[in-house]
Amino acid sequence: MQWTPGGTSEDVEDRRGESGGGGFGGSGFGGVHLGVGGAIIVGLLSLVFHQNFFSMLSGGPASSPAVADRQEPAQNTAEKTAVEFVSFIVDDVQKNWDKLLPAETKTPYHHAKLVLFRDSYPSGCGTAQTAVGPFYCPEDEKVYLDLSFFQELKTRFGAPGEFAQAYVIAHEFGHHVQKILGIEPKVRRLQQQNPDEVNPLSVRLELQADCFAGIWAHTTQERKLIDAQDVNAALGAAAAVGDDRLQRASRGSVNPETFTHGTSAQRTSWFHRGFDSGDVSGCQTFSR
């Protein structure tokens, strides 16, 4: 992927120097021991219900961890480059939605923030935890990201490459687009009214965010910032976090009734729909 280093974006809040309180080490969570699969499942539940289930397991409320005194975040070369890359993607994704959303939906776009943290950090949706992975919180309109997830994406999920990382960020900002369009709050209301539809509605919401990520990728192709190898990296990332693949890896079996994000095939398919069309109207996951 072609990108230009340019410092830290105004839409990126670097809180790595304030993180660390309330984190966890090893395999234990307050006496409850979870393996990799358990952590993934609890993380998915936390994302779906916007509640910190890790804190519940430890026997305490979903409260914010103690925050250390402000200090300068570590600035080694690798992390500095990663922050500049994240900043480029955040700015590029949002500049495109600045143009696309009002042009296609007559709805103005306003920017969300991305918060960089280490281990754990308070969010409007409970405590952000490294094990949960990147997520968007509609309560404070911020995306939370621990840079260590990019290594997890490469080693655990088998999705290396900068554009795989870019896909993850674009997906989370896709949730911000859903909030602006009124889709996200409507889905949450429907989930409260119809408990049996919580998971199916969540899948549709996530697949639409994948499609929105594809729309952004479409614009990068038009600007010759990516090539076929980059697209394959994004598709690989989408497939890597499919519910069927995660469940099979964590417990050796698949239960579609518990899906919250969609299968690998669904996630890659909807990303491709957005990528091929570049059109918001082509991302109607709730009408199919």
65 touches 140 (CB < 8 A)? no
pLDDT at position 65 over 50: no
Is residue 142 within a helix (H) or strand (E), and if so which, with residue range? Answer: strand 142-145
Work out the average pLDDT over 252-257: 83
pLDDT at 75: 52
Among the listed ranges 24-38, 50-64, 94-108, 193-207, which one has the minimum average pLDDT value?
24-38
Among the listed ranges 64-73, 192-201, 206-215, 242-251, which one has the minimum average pLDDT value?
64-73
Confidence of residue 249 (pLDDT cuts 50, 70, 90): confident
Q: Per mean pLDDT, which of 50-59, 82-91, 125-134 is the most reliable?
A: 82-91
Q: How many CA atoms lie within 13 A of 269 on its CB side?
A: 11
* SS3 category, 92: helix
Work out the average pLDDT over 108-120: 97
* SS3 category, 255: coil
205 touches 273 (CB < 8 A)? no
What is the spatial distance between Cα 10 and Cα 113, in angstroms, rounded to a whole number? Answer: 8
What is the spatial distance between Cα 102 and Cα 87, in angstroms, rounded to a whole number? Answer: 23
Among the listed ranges 62-71, 147-156, 227-236, which one has the minimum average pLDDT value?
62-71
Q: Which residue has the higher pLDDT, 52 or 102?
A: 102
Work out the average pLDDT over 242-253: 81
Q: Is 233 exposed, middle or buried (0-12, 13-18, 19+ CB in 10 A)?
A: buried
Between helix 228-240 and helix 198-222 the angle, nearest 10°, is 170
Residue 211: name the closest of 165, 274, 157 by CA. 274
Among the listed ranges 61-75, 160-174, 193-207, 242-256, which one has the minimum average pLDDT value?
61-75
Q: Running DSSP on this structure, what letter comes out for residue 225?
A: -
**Core vs surface per residue 26-57: b (16+ CB within 10 A) or e:** eeebeeeebeeebbbbbbbbbbbbbebbbbbb
261 touches 52 (CB < 8 A)? no
pLDDT at 69: 38
Is residue 128 within a helix (H) or strand (E), and if so which, with residue range? Answer: strand 126-129
Work out the average pLDDT over 67-80: 56
Residue 124: name the closest of 102, 142, 105, 98 by CA. 142
Between helix 162-180 and helix 228-240 the angle, nearest 10°, is 70
Between helix 198-222 and helix 36-49 the angle, nearest 10°, is 90
Residue 25: name the closest of 97, 118, 108 by CA. 118
Tokens of 21: 């309180």
Distance from the first to the final alpha carbon of the chain: 33
pLDDT at position 255 over 80: yes
Residues of the chain with pLDDT > 70: what percent?
80
Confidence of residue 152 (pLDDT cuts 50, 70, 90): confident
Mean pLDDT for all residues in the chain: 81
Q: How many CA atoms lie within 13 A of 225 on its CB side?
A: 17
Instruction: Sort strands 120-123 and 28-29 into parallel, antiparallel or unpaired.
Output: unpaired
